[in-house]
Structure 1
Amino acid sequence: MSESVLPSVLATGQLQSRVQRRGRYVADSMRHPGKMLPSIASQVISAFTEPGDLVVDPMCGIGTTLVEAVHLGRHAAGMEYEADFAGLTAANVQHARSQGATGFARVACGDARNIATVFGDLQGMAALVLTSPPYGVRTHGHVRCGSREGGGPVQKSNHRYSTDKRNLAHQRLPQLMEGFGQILARCGQLLRPGGVVAITVRPIRVNGHLVDLPGQVIETAEAAGLVLTHRLAALLCGLRDGRLINRASFFQMLEAWRNEEKGRPVCAVAHEDLLILRTGDGRG
């Protein structure tokens, strides 16, 4: 697939996240609460880069962007604020190399607002920046019911990004967007002429109200000097015989059920927006 034939809807949810990662990532990776689908990363990297190109993820989590890049023969650099997850990124890259991945990757632990300094030797070299913003300090995480039949209390696990108050995930949405804009501006310094920024993001609910987070990310990116060229849909659901196969989490479905009981139609999220941007200074 190349950029010229990139579809407006990407069938990236045909397999569940855990199936896409099985054997390709170290087992401990599943405890990260906000992972990018490997199929989204691989399709974007294939569309906008060539073997040997450099891919950057300033908020790399457990390293999905880096792993998919090195498996595709690209090189990668990632930054992650949480030392625990940065360690998982390094483990996943090492695992990919042991499986025959030909690309090289490096990961740094720290605040991505400093990425252009930390990776100063890479300025002007990246073909692609691929990332996703945090969705707040709490996410849906993993759910376990109290009995095999589904009764009893619901237990949540792996639903927090961080306990460090300095992490952007702890900030209110305006402060989060401000910090994300600073990160995008610094990443722009790493892009080569014609480089691309790709962001995966979905709407969120805050106190029960739907928030157009993709729209806010677009405004933030444009304020950072980027220009939106494509707004695509990357499916989180599967497709079987013309039907959608639901991949929504327990809490997404619970929210939909509760609103339906109140007579308010609410749909579970079935896709992520995939925003494709270029620099607005003529380098694209």
Structure 2
Amino acid sequence: MNDRPTARWPLPLPPGEEPPMPPLSVWPTGQRDPLAQLRDAGCVPGTETDTERIPPAVAAHAIATYTRPGDLVLDPDCGAGTVLTTALRAGRHALGLTARTRWWTLARANVTAAKTAGAWRDGSVLDARPKVLATVRAAGLIGRVGLVLTTLRTERDRVSGPDRDPVESALADLATTLLYCEPLLRSGGYVAVVARPLRHPDGSLVDLTTPLIATGTSAGLAPVERCIALTAGLRGSRPVTRASLAERRAARARAAGTPTALTAHREVLVFQLAHDATLAAAAAADIPWPMDEATRFIVHGVERPRGRRAA
């Protein structure tokens, strides 16, 4: 895995000083249209019905950047399983969870298809909610996950109650999920959350960056990078939007005579364990760090020996 550029934070900041936004990078992940990506990844028919899936090209870029061969990739809300298929084809182990029968069937079929195509790494899908990660059933995963790669799912049928906002509900679910995932990360592991752009009724974009960073930090994680994963193709320096017909119609309906830009990217927020991020920032800034501090870390307020998360 390539060394990752790390900002000077989350080293201790002066009182009252706010941490800056994580460094921004752009991924050229839209050179193939969505259906071609699914075909290239060997996904089974029906995968395209998961409209909030992580595009295979985005998953492939994240897996290549933040993991190494043989690592375990976890998607705790895997939908139709594009992350699992991509991870297996890249020589990583893969584990996905979903409580929706429809997605479990598709994800399982995609894992089977990847193995049939020659992916030899272990891959499985559990018909379970993310809270199973906090039970004894997941004890063997503690300190083993190299990358948690998941998406912010805002399907309205997941929201309980007519007055609940889908985005707020999705963020609350994600916060709980990341809390379950945090103890499973190995030393140096990453969490990457992918979110498709959302709009307010007036057509303006919803700010997802700020609440996603807050969601990650509430789970004991530190944001280390903010990425724009393009879903538009690039012809020279000009982006070519690959929006679906439904997205184009929705944009025209919202515009009401005023031009509305089609979205051409996914937002990706990347986190590490807070202690790991602090050590990496110290190393990048050439700041000495006491050895006794480097051999301890804190999980949910409890100090534990560093060896528990040995890679």
Q: For the superposition of Structure 1 and Structure 2, which TM-score range results when normalised by the shorter chain?
A: 0.7 to 0.9
In terms of Rg, which structure is larger?
A: 2
Question: In structure 2, which of residues 132, 137, 155 is the aligned counterpart of residue 136 of structure 1?
Answer: 155
Asked whether 1:182 is paired with 2:199, we answer no
1:202 touches 1:214 (CA, 8 Å); kept in 2? Answer: no
Report the CA distance shift for 1:239/1:165 in structure 2 as closer, same or farther (over 3 A).
closer
Q: State the aligned residue count.
A: 256
Measure the CA separation in 2 of the matches of 1:97 and 1:13. Answer: 26
Percent of residue pairs identical: 32
Q: Using a 3 Å threshold, how does the CA distance of structure 1 residues 244 and 282 change in structure 2: closer, same or farther? A: closer
Separation in 2, partners of 1:36, 1:62:
9
Q: Which string of whole-angstrom CA distances, capped at 9 and with x for unpartnered residues, describes residues 252-278 of structure 1?
A: 323433454444x53211111111111
Is 1:55 matched up with 2:73? yes
- What CA distance in whole angstroms lies between the structure 2 residues aligned with 1:187 and 1:90? 21
Match of 1:10 in 2: 27
Q: 2: distance between equivalents of 1:207 and 1:76?
A: 38
- Partner SS for 1:50: coil
In the alignment, what sits opposite 2:218? 223
Once residues 230 and 174 of structure 1 are traced to their aligned partners in structure 2, the CA distance between those partners, rounded to angstroms, is 23
Query: 2:83 — aligned with what?
Result: 65
Give the conservation status (yes or no) of the 8 Å contact 1:72–1:103. no
Partner of 1:243: 238
Paired residue type of 1:130: L
In the TM superposition, residue 17 of structure 1 has moved relative to its aligned partner by 1.1
Unaligned stretches of 5+ residues in structure 1: 138-161
Q: How do residues 158-177 of structure 1 correspond to structure 2 at under 5 angstroms?
A: 162=157, 172-177=166-171
1:78 and 2:96 aligned = yes
Rounded to whole Å, the distance in 1 between the matches of 2:44 and 2:246 is 26
* Alignment check: 8 A CA contact 1:56 1:129 kept: yes
Distance 1:30 1:258 in 2: 24
Cα distance, 1:22–1:63 mapped onto 2, change above 3 Å: same
- 2:82 & 2:188 partners in 1: Cα distance? 24
Shift of 1:189: 1.3
Deviates more, 1:107-116 or 1:189-198: 107-116
- 1:55 partner letter: V
The alignment's C-alpha RMSD in Å is: 2.4
In structure 2, the partner of 1:100 is: 118
**3-state SS in 2 of match to 1:189:** helix
**1:207 aligns to 2:201 (yes or no):** yes
What is the SS of the residue equivalent to 1:267? Answer: coil
Q: State the distance in 2 between where 1:218 and 1:251 align.
A: 30
CA-CA distance at 1:109 after TM superposition: 1.2
Deviates more, 1:242-251 or 1:17-26: 242-251
Most deviating of 202-211 and 212-221: 202-211
Q: Which amino acid aligns with 1:276?
A: V
The separation in 1 between residues aligned to 2:118 and 2:254, in whole angstroms, is 48
Say which SS state the counterpart of residue 182 (structure 1) adopts. Answer: helix
TM-score normalised per structure 2:
0.75
Does 2:115 correspond to 1:120?
no
TM superposition score normalised by structure 1: 0.82
Q: How many Å apart are 1:166 and its aligned residue? A: 5.7
Structure 2 counterpart of 1:88, which letter?
L
The match for 1:145 is none
Query: Which of 262, 266, 283 is the equivalent residue of 2:260?
Result: 266
Post-superposition CA distance 1:68-92 (Å, at most 9, x none): 1111111011111202211211111
| 8 Å contact from structure 1 (residues 225, 281) kept in 2 | no
